[in-house]
Amino acid sequence: MKMDLMDDEELDAFLTYPRHEIVVSESVARAIYDAGVRNIRSANQDESGEVISPLAINCCD
């Protein structure tokens, strides 16, 4: 279809980006969260070896 033959409403609908809803399952969210916690724990150890807890430790409860 030629764009110059479209009326304004058709052109607007044609050029509008589709809106996609991204849904993350609870198991995927938990896996991403757990991987982040592991990264934080491995990176945030002080000299005594004590792990500094992440701030968002209860984000997925």
Token pair in block for residue 20: 């996609």
**Is this structure's pTM higher than 0.75?**
no
C-alpha 43/C-alpha 60 separation (Å) is 21
What are the extents of the domains in the chain? 20-61
Confidence of residue 4 (pLDDT cuts 50, 70, 90): confident
Determine the average pLDDT of the residues in 42-46: 66
Q: Which residue in this structure is represented by tokens 């996609």?
A: 20
Confidence (pLDDT) at 1: 64
Confidence (pLDDT) at 48: 64
C-alpha 23/C-alpha 47 separation (Å) is 41
